Structure 1
Amino acid sequence: MQLRPAELILNEDGSIYHLNLLPNDISTTIITVGDPERVSQVSRYFDTIEVKKGKREFHTHTGHKNGKRLTVISTGIGTDNIDIVLNELDALVNIDFKTRTLKKNRIRLNIIRIGTSGSIQADIPVDSFLMSEYAIGFDGLLHFYEHGHINHTAIEDEFITHTSWLSAKARPYVVSYSENLAELFQDNRIRLGFTATNIGFYGPQHRQLRLAPSQMEVMEKLTSFRYENHCITNLEMETSGIYALAILLGHAAVSLNCILANRVTGEFSKNPSKSIDNLIQFCLERLS
């Protein structure tokens, strides 16, 4: 099947539409960060940089560290951007741009998110590191794709009941990390968590400035939710989308979170830049 120009959109130079990248511009090991300025925070530790490209909020550096070819790309904030980034990264390695057809031999990407997050459990301190074993998405992205049984419906049903989730909102979906890729990052500095991915920063995360959230009590219910030995540990805005699309597309993904805030105690990191940099260095050590 040949993909039509309106489906596979390419720029005049043959690069993929939003990311402005050519197939040879990326490695099969991809680090994603939200903030475009964080791309250079990662790539400054590379031994060499061979690609520097950017368009909109999507900035990409590809280079080598200790002989390992790595790509770091900024996604911007939210699962709507993740939908663009994951699909276009996959297209770069699994679609022939000249013939507009799917390649027979599929390439599997390793995708590692390095992001910031806020914990909702009192015993998870600021400046700690957390790897998302599970993610629950409130964004609805998974429901726009045929997804079979990649999500954990029993956990979803229990969560919906516990929180009295409004039927007017998207049904929460629960997805998990790649166990094989996660083995690279097993360390006593890394705790495993159950991450909630929100569709916004204020109302969706139950922050109130001038607008009141529709269910203020949900924050307390998020904190108190338990399923077997799992509780929801932290809030952010990309992980569920990364996990869902990675699974559907046949890639491996893990999300590493630097905890900058604790919503229970009200604390915020006194040196967030240093904490994020420590997580970046830890990640690069394990990858290279």
Structure 2
Amino acid sequence: MINKLAASELVLNEDGSVYHLNLLPEDLAEKIILVGDPDRVPKVSKYFDIIEVRKNKREFYTHTGTLRGERITVMSTGIGTENIDIVLNELDALVNIDLQKKEIKTEHKSLNLFRLGTCGSVNPDIEVDSLMVTENVVGLDGLLHFYQDYHFENDFSKKFMAGFPYEKIKGMLYFSDWSKKNSELFSDAKYIGNTATFPGFYAPQGRQLRLKALDDQFLEQLNNLGISNFEMETSAIYGLSKLLGHEATTIAAIIANRRRGEFSADHKKSEQMMIEYVLERIIK
């Protein structure tokens, strides 16, 4: 049976590129680094030997080139799991849908996705300016509940759900974990931990300006449940990758320890260390 997609479902630009990312299939490598900030894209691509593709639309900036003879893409996603929903679905469309015929391909292609981000720690023992690789993740944003085929459960998720005390938001939770295939690349990381992905920067992360957060002990409760750090994208990257058949791993620079009230004295140096660490391991 041919899976023909309506024009309203697979939206394309006039040149045939996918709508938000503004990319054609030939613009993309199979190894893709995802960064949140568009300004971080050239910080990665400056290490490439050659940059052959430079495209952007809105917050989505993409450079594709070669490093040590291997093709690689770096792309900015913007902030939040709602942006990741766009990015992951359109990346998948580029490799697993015939855009001209608007038909799903019979042969599946798997992408290798590496998120390079910054994050805060809720564990007082984790040092600022160090790197953490995410093994398990819990999403508090609810995104994966909109996909009917998604279900993930492991020992971490069972223990977390059993101990999570906030009934008001418990129904939004979903879980995933890293690419076991690619995890071997980062076995020497100083920290391998569990991440919470939040749907906002202020109250969801325990910050209080004029509005009060749900609970003054929220971050401490998460740490007690096994959470090491928090950010705003990984749950969607891991969860959608599971559904779509891609390999995903998040590596993050710890630029703040919220429990100790510490912030990096030079987060740009930590960012550069992270980029070099990842490129050295994913491009041989």
Superposition TM-score, scaled by structure 1 size = 0.94
- Give the distance between the partners of 2:248 and 2:190, measured in 1 at CA: 16
1:249 Cα deviation from its structure 2 partner: 0.1
1:108 Cα deviation from its structure 2 partner: 0.4
Counterpart in the other structure of 2:182: 181
1:175 counterpart letter in structure 2: S
The answer (yes or no) to whether the contact 1:163–1:218 under 8 Å persists in 2 is no
1:166 aligns with 2:151: no
- Give the distance between the partners of 2:109 and 2:119, measured in 1 at CA: 30
1:246 aligns with 2:241: yes
- Give the distance between the partners of 1:55 and 1:139, measured in 2 at CA: 25
The answer (yes or no) to whether the contact 2:122–2:220 under 8 Å persists in 1 is no
Counterpart in the other structure of 2:280: 285
- Give the distance between the partners of 2:101 and 2:212, measured in 1 at CA: 52
What secondary structure sits across from 1:246 in the alignment? helix
1:164 Cα deviation from its structure 2 partner: 1.5
Q: Which moved more, 1:167-176 or 1:5-14?
A: 167-176
What secondary structure sits across from 1:167 in the alignment? helix
The answer (yes or no) to whether the contact 1:150–1:247 under 8 Å persists in 2 is no
1:157 Cα deviation from its structure 2 partner: 5.0
2:90 counterpart letter in structure 1: E
1:161 Cα deviation from its structure 2 partner: 4.3
1:122 Cα deviation from its structure 2 partner: 1.0
Counterpart in the other structure of 2:203: 203
The answer (yes or no) to whether the contact 2:164–2:170 under 8 Å persists in 1 is no
1:247 counterpart letter in structure 2: K
Counterpart in the other structure of 2:251: 256
Aligned residue among 266, 269, 279 for 2:264: 269
Query: Superposed, which structure 2 residues align to 1:42-81 within 5 Å?
Result: 42-81=44-83
What secondary structure sits across from 2:138 in the alignment? strand
Counterpart in the other structure of 1:7: 9
Counterpart in the other structure of 1:192: 192
- Give the distance between the partners of 2:46 and 2:268, measured in 1 at CA: 14
Flag structure 1 segments of 5+ consecutive residues without an equivalent: 226-230
1:114 Cα deviation from its structure 2 partner: 0.3
Deviations 1:158-196 (A, max 9, x none): 434433213356431121001111111221x43211000
The answer (yes or no) to whether the contact 1:139–1:170 under 8 Å persists in 2 is no
How many residue pairs were aligned?
281
- Give the distance between the partners of 1:38 and 1:168, measured in 2 at CA: 33
- Give the distance between the partners of 1:131 and 1:100, measured in 2 at CA: 37
Deviations 1:45-94 (A, max 9, x none): 00000000000000000000000100000000000000000000000000
Does the C-alpha gap of structure 1 residues 34 and 170 become closer, same or farther in structure 2, counting only changes over 3 Å?
farther
- Give the distance between the partners of 2:157 and 2:242, measured in 1 at CA: 18
- Give the distance between the partners of 1:81 and 1:140, measured in 2 at CA: 14
Superposition TM-score, scaled by structure 2 size = 0.96
1:204 counterpart letter in structure 2: P
Counterpart in the other structure of 1:137: 139
Flag structure 2 segments of 5+ consecutive residues without an equivalent: none
Deviations 1:194-219 (A, max 9, x none): 00000001010010011101233322
- Give the distance between the partners of 2:210 and 2:137, measured in 1 at CA: 29
Query: Superposed, which structure 2 residues align to 1:85-234 within 5 Å?
Result: 85-152=87-154, 155-168=156-169, 170-187=171-188, 189-225=189-225, 231-234=226-229
1:155 Cα deviation from its structure 2 partner: 4.1
